[in-house]
Structure formats: structure tokens, C-alpha cells
Structure 1
Amino acid sequence: MHADTRYHANAPRSVSFGAALAINGAILAGMIFAAPNILVVKHPDTVIDTIHVDQPPPPPVDEPKPVEKVQPRTSAPPVAPKPLVDTNSTTTIETTTKITDTLPPIEKPADSGPIRTIDPPAPVPALIGATTDPRYAQDFQPEYPAQEMRAQRDGLVTLRVLIDADGRVKAVEPVSATSDAFFAVTKRQALGKWRFRPASRGGVAEESWKTMTVRFRIEDAR
């Protein structure tokens, strides 16, 4: 009887201690969830101090930009078909299998009279060039220039002469010359002494140009 009485006396104390611990835990949890801006600092002596902390506002969130849809390019642009246009036509095509036995007559050209032939123009006679008159062959070579003789220098003169219908020289044009002295004596000799058989065309004498060459040699002048 004594042992049972002592056992029943300790049971209420354990229950009351557990209940007090549960109540304190519930109060503490409620304070934490009810006040998120309160920082709880625990000290070894179980005294709780609270500090108020200001939290900055959250940064703004950019709204997502719409995505543009890019259509794929084709190798060639689409071509719209040509519209059909109705045309009003009154033309009718008739076919036949009947072939005529005779052909239509062929019209004869009008009579243009007798046919006349045109004679071709007569050929133009060729020009026969002027030639040196052998009767004046001894007058062909000019005198040797004195300054060129003293220099013991040979010379060569080429010139064009205009020969009239009488065989005389009317004009002289230089082509090339060893010196002005050689050309001067040759020009004077051509205008004064040279004679030619004039050029002719169809037996008729006419003017013509002729190129002549004169040589000067020291051994011939001595």
C-alpha cells in the first residue's frame, strides 16, 4: 500500500513539466512566424532581445519581351498566276475536205516594151609616166658644190619634180639630201636644164610627178 501511494504522487509532476515546455515552444514559434522582421538573439542567460531590421524592397522584374517570328525565306518569290481574261471573238474557222481540180490563172506582167541594154563605160586608159629625154642626158648632172668639194664629201639628193605637158620641170619638192648645198645645185639644175618626155593617157600628154635621185662623187668631179 505504501509503494502504490508514492508512485501515483510522481505522475502529475512529469505531465505538468511536459505541458509547460510545449506551451513555451508554441509561443516562441508564433513569435517567429508572426514577426519576420525581428531578429532573435539568444544569450546564455535565456534573455531574448529583439532588433528591428529594415529590408530593402525587391528589385523590379522586367517583363519578358515578345519574340518576333521570322518566316523562312524561299529560294524564289511566289509568282501569282496570270489572270485569265475572257475575250469576245466572232472569228470562225471553217475546214473543208474538197480540193479543186484547177488552179487560179496566173496574171501576166504588163508589157514594158523592148528590153534595152546599157553598154558598160569604156575603160580609162592607163597613165604612162614621164621618162628622161635622152637628148638632154648630158645636162642631167649638176655642178659639184665648191664647199663640198673642199670638204671632199660625197652627196646624195632625192627630190620630186612636177613635169608639165611640154616635158619641163615646173616645181621641185625635197625628199632627202646630204646637205643644203647639194640640194640647192640639184634644184637649180632641174628647173633650168632637165627635160622629159611627158606622161600621157590615151595618147594625150598631161602633167605628172616623178621622183629623181642624184649622186655626187668626188672621183667623178676630178
Structure 2
Amino acid sequence: MHANRYQPAASRPASAGASLLVLAAVGFGATLVGPTIVPGLLPEPPIFVTNVPIDPPKPTPQPLPKKDAVVKQQTTPLPHQPTPIVKSNGAADPIGATPDFTETTMDPPGPVGPASGGTTVADPPKPPVMIGATVDPRYADALQPPYPNSEIRAQTEGKLVARVLVGVDGRVKAIEILRTPSKGLSEATRRHALSRWRFKPATRDGIPYEDWMTMTLSFKLVD
């Protein structure tokens, strides 16, 4: 009767050598493929900062003094001394004289003009030409006011003096009774003057203007 006995596996050195070959192949493949597949996993190189010193600003150069500058020296003036007269040894007098006299003919003076700096006297202004108001001949027959019946029955007679303001249109603008025989004649004259009287207005250099004039009326009864 035969008994089954345990058979040992292959020798350990052979399996260890095969494992080393597999690991070597994997490592070689990683070196060829690894940098291309995952480039971002590699660490970035460190950044080095270097301080560069800045030169200080150069001072502004000062202008050099001019070499041709000359310092003037003040000197005290000497007292005035007259120039000495040197007598000339010349035989002739340098300033000659002649006994001949030549008469000089002068032109006659011209007309006398206006005095220098004088002022011209202008003619005084002429006074304006004033013409007073007058009665318009076209309305001369309308100057006498009608006799009131009450004054006729009272036998009132006399002269009436009135002062009227004549406008630029020749109409009476106002009337003042200076003297009258009665109140009735005054009222009749006032109404008639304001409605019927016409005058030529007063003028100043031909330009009409308002002016006062005096009128005298006579009231007399006729049989």
C-alpha cells in the first residue's frame, strides 16, 4: 500500500527571479508612459525673488561761475582839475577875420495868422421864433356867443374878459372868466367858447404848442 506524500512546489529561487522580471518590466513602462499621461501631477519649480537695489537720484548740478566775470572795483574820483592851456607856437591866428561886410537880404514877413492857442468865439444861439395864438379867420363870425333871454329881459350890457387855453389843434381846452357883467353872460360865453371857438395855435420855430390868450367880448342890446 502506497501512501501519497506531499510534493513541494517549484524551487523558490525560480519564482523569485520571475517576480523580479515582472517588476522590472512594469517600472520601465512607467518611465516611458508616466510623464506623458499625467503631466499635472509633477511639482512646479520654486520661484526665487531677488531684490535689485535702486540707485538714489543724482543731485542737480550747480552752475559753474563764469570765468570772464570781472569784479568792478570802486574808486574814489579825484577832485576836478582844469585842463592846462597849452600855448600854440603857430604864426597865424587859427580864427581868421575879414574886414568885408556882406549885407544879408531877408524875405518879407508872411501874413499874420490866428493867434496860437486862441479860441474861436461861436455865434450866440438865436432865440426861437415865437408866434402867439390868433383867431382863425374862418371862424371869426362864431366868436360872439348868443345873448341869453334872461339877460335881455334884465337889460344887461357890458364887456366880458376871458382867458382861454388854446391847444395844438386850435380848440379851447380851458377858459377863465376874468371880468363879466353878470353870471348869465359868463356861463353863456363858457359854453360857446368850448364848443365853437377855433384859433390858430401858437408856434415855437414853426412847431405848435399850447398857449394862453385873452379875449374881450362886448354885450350890447340893439333896438
Query: TM-score, normalised to structure 1's length?
Result: 0.46
Structure having the higher helix fraction is: 1
Instruction: Give TM-score, length-normalised by structure 2.
Output: 0.46
- Structure whose residues are more often strand by fraction: 1
